[in-house]
Amino acid sequence: MPIIKSAKKRVKIAAKANIRNTKTRQQLRDTFKAFKLALESGKTEAISKAQHAAVSAIDIAAKKNVIHRNKAARKKSQLATMAKAIGVKPAKSTAKQSTVAKKATSRKPVRKTAKS
């Protein structure tokens, strides 16, 4: 057991983080299992919902640094590949894209002149 006050605090913080990370990791595993069960059922709607939940769990885990961002990208790609092999079409993005084109500025760059 640590003696210094700051070290005691770090032990408490590490224990809390361990619990939080364990919950996130377990949620990740549960969504993967649900996705695999949905794949076995063959229902496209269930597969797409399970895939959405799994991708969301992956993003949360990557945001909290429970898994590396490259691993998150790899897992999402694997989920999409498995879903596509069954015949599920990829979900369309719900994010709205800006249709307004930005005007190009016709200003000339400012040149600094050397004053002597």
Residue with tokens 């076995």: 40
Kindly state the percentage of the chain with pLDDT values over 90.
71
49: pLDDT strictly greater than 70: yes
90: pLDDT strictly greater than 90: no
Write the single-letter amino acid at 107: R
Confidence of residue 78 (pLDDT cuts 50, 70, 90): very high
Which sequence spans correspond to the domains of the chain? 5-86
Of residues 113 and 99, which shows the higher confidence score? 113
Neighbours of 50 (CB within 10 A): 23
User: What average pLDDT does this structure show over 91-110?
Assistant: 60
| CATH class, range 5-86 | mainly alpha
**Mean pLDDT score of the chain, rounded to an integer?**
87
97: pLDDT strictly greater than 70: no
